[in-house]
Amino acid sequence: MEINLFSDTVTKPTQEMLQFMFNAKVGDDVFKLDPTVNELEETLADLFGKEAALFFPSGTMANQTAIKLHTNPGDELICDKWAHVFLYEAGGVSFNSGVSCNLIDGNRGMITAEQVERAINDPEFYHAPMTKLVCVENTTNKGGGACYDIEDLRKIKDVCTKHNLKFHLDGARLWNALVAKKQHPRIYGELFDTISVCLSKGLGAPIGSVLIGSKEDMKRALRIRKIFGGGMRQAGYLAAAGMYALQNNISRLEEDHRKAKELGKILETLPFIYKVEPIETNIVIFTLKSGITETQFMDKLKEKNINISNMGQGKLRMVTHLDYKQVMHDYVMETLSKISF
């Protein structure tokens, strides 16, 4: 039995999802003629209380499109030092948009309104880039699945409004935050100019993210997606997986959160664990005490067919997900409790 806690991106479609995909009505989405893609976009736009949405093959492309929408070459965006748009999108902000990042030293990947306001460049000071955009991530990936308090996001929105900045949400794991905080998507629709949501992480679809915003922004995003090579033809087969996921896989995220917290509790009892980050959703990040390397620990788990990820800088990560069944969880918990060095 191979157990993969490397990421929640490793899930495979269930038979029910595959059947739903197989039965999808499709058309040529490049001409906006795929009825299932159109349904997915309309469903998500309505869910977040926005005017329109656009289907993308990846969250990175959706984020990069949003950045290009809101900036011009030479501009600057503000984000946390651990932000996905900075760390894990291959320098796309500079390559695709000619934009630099003003990095904030936040708390577990989360930044504050006060930090944002201090980071904004004076638009009259022509030596510095023009600040045009603020990007936040909810939940935070490298921050261990941490969730923003909605009031903190409202305060950042107020700063953006005051300084005429656009506000983008990288919501790759927003579904986890919505479930953990018992929130409605529309409160995010009210705050952000654009929102990207992923269907292939916690919701278990094999591919796909959606960018959500105004009609005008999504019209422009369609052209940018084309430039980036993101136009797909009979994409309804993929969109159908997203529709199935929205209808069936949101509430069950509570199960992933429970298992992650249980993993955290067992890790805290182990003598060679230095620290376990607070756990709110489905990501467990922890560090080892000196004298034991990350490779040594990971190899011990591999011997038991358990795979986790090394995030660098001493951080190890486990991510619970749809395919991580209770029998696997029981086995991992037992294995952890018996590890020794």
- Give yes or no for a contact between 85 and 79, defined as CB atoms under 8 angstroms apart: yes
Map residue 90 onto helix, strand or coil. coil
Average pLDDT, the chain: 97
In 24-87, the DSSP E strands lie at: 52-56, 76-80
- Nearest alpha-carbon partner for 287 in 299, 278, 277, 298: 277
* pLDDT of amino acid 140: 97
CB atoms within 10 A of CB 7: 17
- Residue 11 confidence class, pLDDT cut points 50, 70, 90: very high
- The pLDDT value given to residue 316: 96
Going by C-alpha positions, the residue among 317, 319, 339 that lies closest to residue 329 is 319
pLDDT digits (tens, 9 = 90+) for 189-232: 999 999 999 999 999 999 999 999 999 999 999 999 999 999 99
pLDDT tens-place string over residues 254-304: 999 999 999 999 999 999 999 999 999 999 999 999 888 999 999 999 999
* DSSP secondary structure letter of residue 121: P
Model confidence, pTM: 0.96
d(CA 55, CA 238): 10
| pLDDT confidence of residue 312 | 83
Query: Does pLDDT of 340 surpass 90?
Result: no
Dihedral of alpha carbons 280, 284, 285, 286, sign = positive
| 292 burial type by CB count under 10 A (0-12 exposed, 13-18 middle, 19+ buried) | middle
The 3-state DSSP class for residue 94 equals helix
| Interval 43-61 mean pLDDT | 98
Contacts of 129 (CB under 8 A, 6+ apart): 74, 75, 76, 100, 121
Confidence of residue 341 (pLDDT cuts 50, 70, 90): confident
* Domains along the chain with CATH numbers: 15-248 (3.40.640.10), 252-338 (3.90.1150.10)
Q: Is 250 exposed, middle or buried (0-12, 13-18, 19+ CB in 10 A)?
A: middle
Q: What is the predicted pLDDT for the residue at 313? A: 81
pLDDT band at 80 (very low <50, low <70, confident <90, very high): very high
